[in-house]
A and B are shown apart, each in its own frame.
Chain A
Amino acid sequence: GEDVEQSLFLSVREGDSSVINCTYTDSSSTYLYWYKQEPGAGLQLLTYIFSNMDMKQDQRLTVLLNKKDKHLSLRIADTQTGDSAIYFCAESLYNFNKFYFGSGTKLNVKP
């Protein structure tokens, strides 16, 4: 199966930038995604990037993709306490039938 790896925890201070990293193994990934999960809730699609792109920016979120190293990152600028959640990276292959998820990075934002 496809492996998607993330670090488990990240702690930042309010107002700082957060960078959450993800690595994947399947070079045939078509889209890569970032989802946010708050306690007891479902997954909220934050953003995604097509595999032929290097970067995508959406307000406070910046996604960087290094396809050669199979490395994806999510940068959250001016991190707020409301950003505290678990962030999942996921990849889909050419047929979009299923997504492969990392185990999630728990972001803790300290006031």
Chain B
Amino acid sequence: NAGVMQNPRHLVRRRGQEARLRCSPMKGHSHVYWYRQLPEEGLKFMVYLQKENIIDESGMPKERFSAEFPKEGPSILRIQQVVRGDSAAYFCASSRGTTSGKGYEQYFGPGTRLTVT
């Protein structure tokens, strides 16, 4: 059973460009979470999605950031017009969801390290 997959692992963008980060959850998981880790810091929650629904986006910056989890395909975190302060590691996690009784286990992907030059 493959774990949570993220790609690309490393992404370099110039200021003003768009960054697209992809996350494929573990098999059987229908809930996806995105976190951001700034250098020397812990992870900060950004958004929680289920298929075709954003459940909680309280950690998302109000502008330039968006996330989706379509019916088919991976979850996408999109950052428009990137700035240097967006440089960070972005981690995706997945879980089965709370009704399964195992919703308390979140499994993390290897992360995408975004560098904005």
Interface residues of A (CB under 8 A from B): 4, 30-31, 35, 41-45, 48, 88, 90, 92, 95-104
Contact = CB atoms under 8 A, between A and B. Distances in A.
Interface string B58-72: 110000000000000
A100 B33 CA distance: 12
Given A96-B95, A99-B33, A104-B41, 9 more contacts: A30-B104, A41-B111, A43-B91, A45-B106, A48-B104, A98-B45, A98-B48, A98-B58, A99-B43
B67 to A, nearest CB: 13
B98 A101 contact: no
Given A35-B108, A42-B108, A43-B108, A96 B98 contact: yes
14 contacts: A4-B42, A30-B104, A35-B108, A41-B110, A42-B6, A48-B104, A96-B95, A96-B98, A96-B103, A98-B33, A98-B56, A98-B58, A103-B41, A103-B42
B25 interface: no
A48 B95 CA distance: 15
Nearest to B107: A45
Interface residues of B, number: 28
Nearest to A89: B42
Contact of B48 (A35, A88, A97): A97
A4 B56 CA distance: 20
Nearest to A6: B42
A22 to B, nearest CB: 11
A102 B40 CA distance: 11
A101 B94 CA distance: 16
B84 interface: no
B104 A31 contact: yes
Interface centre among B42, B44, B45, B55 (most CB of A within 10 A): B42
Interface string B100-115: 0001111111110000
Interface centre among B44, B55, B106 (most CB of A within 10 A): B106
Interface string B67-92: 00000000000000000000000010
